[in-house]
A = this chain, B = another copy of it.
Amino acid sequence: MKVRNKKGSGAEQVSELTTSRLSIYLRCLDHLATAGVRTVSSQSLAAQFGFNAAQIRKDLAWFGEFGVRGVGYSVQGLAAHLRQILGLGDPIRVAVIGAGNLGQALADYPGFPQYGFVPVALFDRATSKVGMHSKGGVPIFHIKRLPAFVRREGIRIAMIAVPAASVQQVANAAVAAGLRAILNFAPATVTVPPGVKVKNVDVTVSLEGLAYHLAKTVHAKTN
């Protein structure tokens, strides 16, 4: 087995486009596994889910050789490899910062534990919320207690669901608490020191993309 590792230390070599697709492949493989499929070729995977077969193979080639020539990939085996590549061995503990409607819904979202991400606590600066729980039973703490909690409870990821104006300051607090991975739900740009990863889930950007599609389509009809 040959794994490409161009630089000795952990440099940024594999594109995020690739890792995103790995997640999606994993989702597809789980789908096939529950359907009882044992083996799959890159071609049939591509056909079923709308990918390009060569791209699947290229994406996997960054990490090793997982297929059997003439046969394809073991569905369960490849899924296990992808989980290992993505670092999904043990459940990853998550803190949700911002205990508004969205934050509480995220803390209770059943999809997360199912995929190995466990929201352990909510944090907010409103003392009126502190001491309460989400519907699903996730406790709400004051944001001041984040650093101690991160250390004691082994939190790895911060999900930030606060208004856009407060995001930067909350992100700073998360970094100061030792977190190195942030998922930001607010429509705002966040700046963090090197080594910290931020991913933005900006729903307004997606909605405006849809709005553009609608506007364009209407225009086409008007012609």
Measured CB to CB, the residues of A under 8 A from B are 8-10, 16, 19-20, 22-24, 26-28, 31, 49-50, 85-88, 92, 94, 101-102, 104-106, 108-109, 111-112, 115-117, 135-136, 156-157, 164, 180-183, 186-189, 191, 195, 197, 199, 201-220, 223
Contacts and interface: CB of A to CB of B under 8 A. Distances in A.
Nearest to A8: B223
A197 B213 contact: yes
Most chain B CB neighbours (cut-off 10 Å) among A50, A86, A94 = A86
Q: Is the interface of A mostly helix, strand, loop or mixed?
A: helix
The 7 closest A-B CB pairs, nearest first, are: A87-B215, A10-B220, A105-B105, A181-B210, A197-B213, A23-B205, A23-B208
Most chain B CB neighbours (cut-off 10 Å) among A105, A115, A180 = A105
Q: Report how many copies the assembly holds.
A: 2
Contacts of A50: 189, 191
A206 B201 contact: yes
Given A85-B212, A105-B105, A189-B50, A219 B19 contact: no
Contacts of A195: 217
A47 B195 CA distance: 21
B112 A101 contact: no
Nearest to A183: B206
B19 A180 contact: no
Given A181-B211, A183-B207, 9 more contacts: A19-B209, A20-B205, A22-B212, A50-B191, A102-B106, A111-B204, A112-B203, A197-B210, A201-B206
